[in-house]
Chain A
């Protein structure tokens, strides 16, 4: 059973089809890099996979189940364009909050563990509004990983990260892959993404124009996929 299965998904904004008959799968333990130009539909697709909006047609399956089922949501971690943590709460309060919402047996301990893993334990009681951008991003990473999700959905996770945050995120993603988790990430930073990716999907104006394994040519020349498949539509 695929960890993520996207079957004939269409999404319309008014009359405009942002996604057109998208079909993708990601097997357990795979890392699928979703690439494409601005406006290609990467974020729309990730949001539909995450269950934030419903497709116009087609369906999404996460381990064979609908994304909006409570059990399915427990298995997904999401990092979007925003950091999705509360400015008015401290780092520890934020992670404890999400630990409780994800029904972790000991939210406080889990929160402390992830603050340590992301290098934020010294500022655990500081309010997020006082954090630098890099610290906020690391907290967002901790929030997404906190409940040990089986599927990680990452929307441009490397954007605006400093070197340290990129290193932290890459290490965590490698550990997640080694543990058999599935990652679907959209990105413009091809080099960082293709180093991790086992598979690549290219979206061009809402359509999948390439979907296949990540090859050595792609890793050595990140522009290869665009040059080979980007103008197919």
Chain B
């Protein structure tokens, strides 16, 4: 079991190192997130109460779109030089390969989100720090949902010519429950309402989503990679 987690770590560090050398996915994702936040701020008056009510939704739409740019690169990074062959040939389980890549994606997407969050606070005039611990927890859970579904579909679409188009088309419909929960919770938290009562069920749903899709992905990844 220790060996499994060591291999997960090796794959994760490799992906992060490669990304930090090129910065191609993170730069594109961050620029995209900031531009969309700026454009939405022109479209919706930040002083309107309704804008604050939908701000959680806007934020997660930005995260989902920007995150896809990172996720698209995940298995596509293995394409040049047929590196995926070497990974599949190595004596590591598909689950370790998947988990390593998912964790690397998670770190990258979270980094983009944590830079975008203060910008969101400025553009939309919301006090996102008021309930920060709870907001951060929602961010962690929602981002894992996005990452785990995006990573498995990144593996599935790696050999498809239009994978940049296919990945969001496959990912977003499946992500709807998790995104709905994250949007509902975030909208409340950025307007100063802590998680309680009805909103707690949204939190449980995201946790359930994370657990189910992580387990399903770990089971299916070997079939996805080798057929």
Contacts and interface: CB of A to CB of B under 8 A. Distances in A.
A84 B17 contact: no
Contacts of B91: 70-71, 73-74, 101-103
Interface residues of B, number: 26
Nearest to A81: B82
B93 A84 contact: no
* Dominant SS among interface residues on chain B: helix
B51 to A, nearest CB: 41
Interface in B23-73: none
Interface of B: 3, 6-7, 10-11, 14, 17-18, 21-22, 80-83, 85-93, 222, 226-227
Interface size for chain A: under 10, 10 to 19, 20 to 34, or 35 or more residues? Answer: 20 to 34
B83 A73 contact: no
Interface string A53-92: 1100000000000001011011010101111111111000
A53 to B, nearest CB: 6
Interface in A136-185: 136, 143
A127 B11 CA distance: 18
13 contacts: A51-B89, A52-B89, A53-B227, A54-B226, A54-B227, A84-B85, A86-B18, A88-B18, A98-B86, A101-B11, A101-B87, A101-B90, A103-B3
Interface of A: 50-54, 68, 70-71, 73-74, 76, 78, 80-89, 93, 97-98, 100-103, 127, 136, 143
Contact of A88 (B3, B22, B88, B222): B22
A143 B86 contact: yes
Contacts of A101: 7, 10-11, 87, 90-92
Residue of A54, A68, A86 with most partner-chain B CB within 10 A = A86
Given A101-B10, A136-B81, 4 more contacts: A68-B226, A88-B21, A89-B21, A101-B91
A86 B81 contact: yes
A84 B81 contact: yes
Given A82-B83, A88-B18, A52 B90 contact: no
Contacts of B7: 100-101
B97 to A, nearest CB: 9
Contact of B86 (A78, A100, A103): A78
Residue of A51, A80, A101 with most partner-chain B CB within 10 A = A101
Given A53-B227, A73-B91, A102-B90, A80 B82 contact: yes
A85 B81 contact: yes
A211 B82 CA distance: 30
A143 B90 CA distance: 11
A24 B11 CA distance: 35
Contact of B226 (A51, A85, A97): A51
A53 B89 CA distance: 11
B32 to A, nearest CB: 22
Closest 4 CB pairs of A and B: A82-B82, A84-B86, A88-B18, A73-B91
B83 to A, nearest CB: 5
A50 B86 CA distance: 10
